[in-house]
Structures are given as C-alpha cells and as structure tokens.
Homo-oligomer: A and B are copies of this chain.
Amino acid sequence: MAARAARGGHHGVSIEDVAAAAGVSTATVSRAVRGLPRVSEQTRRRILDVASELGYVASSAASGLATGRTRTIGVLAPYVDRWFFYKALEGVERELHEQGYNLSLFSLDSRSGERQRTFSKTMVAKHIDALLVLCMALSMDEIQELRRLDIPLVAVGGPVEGCSSIGINDVEAAALATRHLLDLGHRDIGVLHGQDDDEDLNFQVPELRVNGFHEELARAGVEYHPEWEVRGNFTLASGAEAFEELWNRPGPKPTALMCASDEMAMGVILQAQRRGLRVPEDLSVIGIDDHEFSPVMGLSTVAQDPVAQARLGTRMLLDELAGKAGSVHDVHADFELKSRTSTAPLS
C-alpha cells in the first residue's frame, strides 16, 4: 500500500522497490523472478513473496531494452474476419500464451487507406521477435522488407517466396475433392475458383486448387468444360453469385461442383436450393476447408485444420527464438476427405 509512494513514479512497482523491500540487490531480484539459478531457495522465496505482495511485474519495455527481446510475436494477415484467418489467429494465440508470449496483430488490406502497408516500418519493426504471415499476397518489395527485418519468419496457409511455409498441399487437396466426385460417377463437373479481384489474398492458393482439379480430371480422362468454370472470392455471397452466374449460362449444366472453399460451397448450396434444385439429388457439391458450419450443412469437404497449422508455425518460431536454429521449415499439413450429404452418386 504505502510502498508505491516511496519512489516518485505514481504508477508501477519497480525492481528496486522489490529489492529494497527484500533487502537484496536488483540483480538478485531479477534472477529470482525469472527462475534463474544462482539464487538460494530461501532468498528466492522471500523475494517472490515480497514481489507478489507488492504486485510487482517487470516492465516489458525495460527488459526488452536490456535484452533486445520483446517476447512478442507478430501476425500479419489481410483479414481477420474470414474463416482461415480467425481460426489460425486463435491457434497462434493459444500457443503463444501458453509460452508466455504476446501476440501483436497486423491486419493490412488494400481497404486500409492508401495501401500504405508500411509494416516493416513503424509497425512490425523493433516490436516483435518473430513474424507469422497468414496467406498474405506480398509483393516482392514487401517480402524484401520483411526479410530485412532479420527475424524468424514463417508463412501459414499459403507459400511466400523465400520463406518457409506450412499449409496443406492445395493441389492434392483439390484433386482429392475432385476424385471424390469422380468416384461417385460424376463426369460433368464444374469448378468454382477461389480468386476474383482480391489483391490481398495469397494468389497462389486459388490457382493451385484449380490446378488440382484440372489434373485430376485429366488423370481420369474426363473432359474439362471451361463453361462450367466460374469465379468467386472465397465468401458465401460470392458462392451464391457464382452459382447464379453458372446456371444462367446457356447450355447443359454440370451434375457436380467442386468449390475452392466451404464458404463458397455453402453459398452455392443455398442459392441452388433457392432456385429449386435439390442437393445432392440434382447437384453434388463439395468444398475445401471444413468450416464449422459444414457439419450442420451436411457439406462434403476436404478438411484442413488452421488452428493446428498455426500452432505448428508458432512453435517453430518459438523454437527458433529459443536458439534451435533450423526449426522453421516447410511442412505440408494434413487434410482429409469428409464425405457428408451434399455429395451423392450420380443417379
């Protein structure tokens, strides 16, 4: 109570206060509170007691200045209000706080003013010990800037040039989804792309998924219909619109649709039903992701786990910081077919 009046600062108990109250030097307090050796158990306990009594918490600014470490890692993402991103964010957060690290969020999209993604500037720089990049579409310049930061870097959910990344093999995942449709006997299969005009998202992912689709079709010797190819931007609304566009085109319709994301697949299903089509009787639909709504929607999908991917990426960063050089490396995350009720054999 009275202790804090001792020093001038109106705010915050310093290490000196603790040292004084415990009758030791600040060096010893420092060792004690950080659990370092070279402190007798007896003094350590006394110091810890005094510290907690005084409500002492080390100033991160001060220790950051002294050590050069902030115990904060940054997350760079184009959005946070989209499935993969908020899931991954949750994963990073959990892993980090289990290790006593802080998470600093940088969400930069082209919406945010003059596209002044000055992240390596005032923002990211000197603030964080490592950086995790979530499916950002980065220009070469931006990547250069990031690398110049000279801190551990890892990408999650989409490759970044010259930087280890963890994520599923998008080509294979899309191929698996496509194969599922083929296995059910479908031959007239359309595809809903994931990319539209989104300049923030990692551009490779959508492309890779469509490649997987094409490859699998080719492998099966099934004809590819460009007129059944349509574009969306990963959102539910875009899925609904894409369906509309596809169905408004003249000519025959596909019996199955492979969508580059669950959100779009759900948009397709909803819009199809509104148009009086039955899923899966009239149209089979499969997605990629396994959104939390998918089980209830009965959406068949190729599931991936962003939380696990993000945790893994975070752990690599932390290991690297702990001195285990080479901890950060490329990893292909698991994915798995989940067959539900939005897909059925061709009747």
With A65-B59, A125-B57 as known contacts, state yes or no: A90 contacts B100, CB within 8 Å.
Answer: no
Q: Which residue of chain B lies nearest to A83 when distances are taken between CB atoms in the complex?
A: B81
Q: Which of A178-200 contact B (CB under 8 A)?
A: none
Q: Which residue of chain B lies nearest to A127 when distances are taken between CB atoms in the complex?
A: B60
A219 within 8 Å of B by Cβ? no
For A123, give its contact among B11, B102, B105, B293 (CB under 8 Å): B102
Stretch at the interface among A201-209, A210-218, A232-240: A232-240
A112 within 8 Å of B by Cβ? yes
Q: Which of A60-93 contact B (CB under 8 A)?
A: 60-62, 64-65, 68, 70, 72, 79-81, 85-87, 89-90, 93
A295 within 8 Å of B by Cβ? yes
| Size of interface on A: residues with Cβ below 8 Å to B | 59
For A102, give its contact among B104, B121, B266 (CB under 8 Å): B104
Q: Which residue of chain B lies nearest to A240 when distances are taken between CB atoms in the complex?
A: B296
A55 within 8 Å of B by Cβ? yes
A41 within 8 Å of B by Cβ? no
Report how far A121 CA is from B51 CA in the complex, Å.
12
A309 within 8 Å of B by Cβ? no
Report how far A94 CA is from B112 CA in the complex, Å.
7
